[in-house]
Structure 1
Amino acid sequence: MMMQSDLFQFEDSTEWLTVAPGVQRKVLGYDNKLMMVKVRFMKGGRGDLHSHEHSQVAYVASGSFEMTLGETVKIINEGDGYYVPPFTVHGCVCLEDGILVDAFSPARLDFVSTDGK
């Protein structure tokens, strides 16, 4: 089954979903093959270590994060980015309030399920 978002996503009419303490997600454009997601973190918010089948790239729109990719841990800041190969364990801790913009291929269809988690 083909899924697709609206062609445009507007900041003031796209809802944030709380996914963990200090972490909110906003799904932007997607189809089955590709998805963009904005994730807002408060200082101390965590993206717990996890892995998935999707390739992922991310852009640090604001803030500062301690990012773990496999065995590597780096501090990333506004303007930085990273790539997560499929099935790589990764996660982050927010050091300064910020926003990550993630892209997934294929799309994280679990993000558009009825519960959003």
Structure 2
Amino acid sequence: METRSETWIYEHGKEWEPAGEGVVRQIMGYDGQVMLVKVKFEKGAVGSLHTHHHTQTTYVASGKFEFTINEETKTVETGDGLYIAPDLVHGCTCLEPGVLIDCFSPMRADFIDH
């Protein structure tokens, strides 16, 4: 059986899923190799420090965030991006409400296996 999303995914037809206090997400496409996820944060919301075996890249579509990756903390805002190698401890705090676009490889099966 092949694991993949629908071909066309429209924001207005897709429910936001809870992803923590003050955080919701929309899965915007995936197959076994890659996954694109839109994550919306309220001011002050925290993406707790965590680790996973996936490679992650993140684009800041809007807002301002303080990210910690492997004990290094920096502030990123609209238009910035970051790369997180597999198994590095990372997390963020939202300084100004915004949206992150996360890309994972391989896909995050834990996001679709409810």
TM over 0.5: yes
CA deviations on 1:13-56 (whole Å, 9 max, x unpaired) are 01101121100011111001100000000000010000000000
Partner residue of 2:104?
A: 104
Query: Identity across aligned pairs (percent)?
Result: 48
Show structure 1 runs of 4+ deviating over 6 A.
none
Q: How far off is 1:92 after superposition?
A: 0.1
1:24 aligns with 2:24: yes
Partner residue of 1:9?
A: 9
Give the Cα–Cα distance (whole angstroms) in 2 for the partners of residues 11 and 73 of structure 1. 31
Give the Cα–Cα distance (whole angstroms) in 2 for the partners of residues 25 and 93 of structure 1. 16
Structure 1: gaps spanning 5 or more residues: none
- TM-score normalised by length of structure 2: 0.98
Structure 2: gaps spanning 5 or more residues: none
Q: Describe the SS at the equivalent of 1:64.
A: strand
